[in-house]
Structure 1
């Protein structure tokens, strides 16, 4: 059977739809419902954990030794830390991101009984009042506040609007899809990864492919705070490939085109054999790729290992410029990652002993 190709139009359509759904960690139910409905439309049967992580299985030749592919639907965001005397809101971040990139952002405040719009501003925002002090104030979450689009100038008036400490704040993505293939938006980490997996499933199902082992398609809801794939992996799974953003920056080897295969992150090196297999698949199928090491980075794979899952892990990424800020990617990287995933799920099993949790030394692989 001829290898199917990723449909870039479908991939872009899914990314646009996902970016239109607010899903900061802690407020992911709408995104979970959207992804689950799309999986059903593609012919799969999604299963949800209590909190909303998603698992859908494409049955293969064997159940044991299954392969898992994972991305996360949750994004960065903020929460209301306090209501200031002037009626504006102090914030704390959800996930790790700089307040430098929060300044000027349009946001939605999600309370239990209300939904309001607003803007995150530095404490000294008026040039006509503060003059040069606007540029001299420090950067940090203690130096920004949320101005609500409502008539309020006191703590009491803001509370009367239904705003309370702990309310979730979602930051507008402001997506821009250019004719040159570049995509600028917040939250490409990791909604682009989710779109890639959906596009991979679409191509897989369209072609009627059958993998040598079951494929577990996973979507987690708390990667940005380090929980990730800790509780959605079944005992049958032998390997996990995470799909997330790479970091294009000075002294990094990531690129906004092709696949960037991460060799190690702050949790240590990825599995030697699984990573090598992915590199060889790129080489054999003419998929543009490069390798990189991320020092200040972790993904769903780290949370899976920390939860005690004895699985091989790898990380394939699409290069992102200004990660966790005003992010930019290129469609070439997204389709390249999808092509690699298609080749991977269809590839023969290389380490037969992985169907068992324990085996003797004779079947153990060599480096």
Structure 2
């Protein structure tokens, strides 16, 4: 009787071991995720990653039931919806609290924004393309101003209070010469902001106040791609003429030379483990787009299995280290084929179990 019990015990142990190996394999395979970037920002409510191109976290792109919204122009029903809570699909609408008429109906005209901001004195919406609320765009009688370049005569007028209709003028408080006369030059804006050292207006299209766009001598910089030597310069203080360079504190290589590649930004933000700049379009700082080992992720559908078990092995107690060492001999190492070994073990243990049962029946007949 004891002999048969031992056989039963051995058979049960082998079967349980086979089931454990199979479930362990499935759990290990489940750790691999495809084409993800931080599931804290791109996931659904059960923690699974969202792979649709236009979705970002159900907290920000969802309907009232918590289901993600896939429409390209929808953002959270709290921001883009009608009075019934249904999303608004019209391209130029944003929440009927901001774009509607007095009846609460959505305004679909391209140039309108909320009756609170675009209306006449009676509260009717203004349909004129260049009109914005009679409080901001009107003449002295309260009539809306239809001229393309006018904004409220409190802001666009001459010294007599008459409206200024020149295309490039905005309020003499902001666009004038030293005598208070309006400036008619198309690219001038207030001598406090666009002038040379003598107080004369600067007419060059790309200049703004020599406090912001100048060289070391105080002369204006006319290159299209320069802005203030504090932001666009080399180590000697000379302005950088390269169109895509911005301050070597933000766009440079390890030697301090500016990086001209369009998709590079400071190797503190876009680099590999050796400090070399990463030029692949889809890489951004290994701190944000990497696997668990710190290697950059290059393929959309690849990720690495975490090595946290290896790190915990290094910090375990001696007894735990012995156990882990024993387990490491029985399980495949990282990089080895995990697909076949559990199933081969399962087949072997199954054959052994059947053999024990047959032996038991054979001995029973005897």
Larger radius of gyration: 2
Same fold (TM over 0.5): no
Higher RCO structure (Cα 8 Å, ≥6 apart): 1
Question: What TM-score do you get using the length of structure 2 for normalisation?
Answer: 0.18
Higher strand share: 1
Question: What TM-score do you get using the length of structure 1 for normalisation?
Answer: 0.18
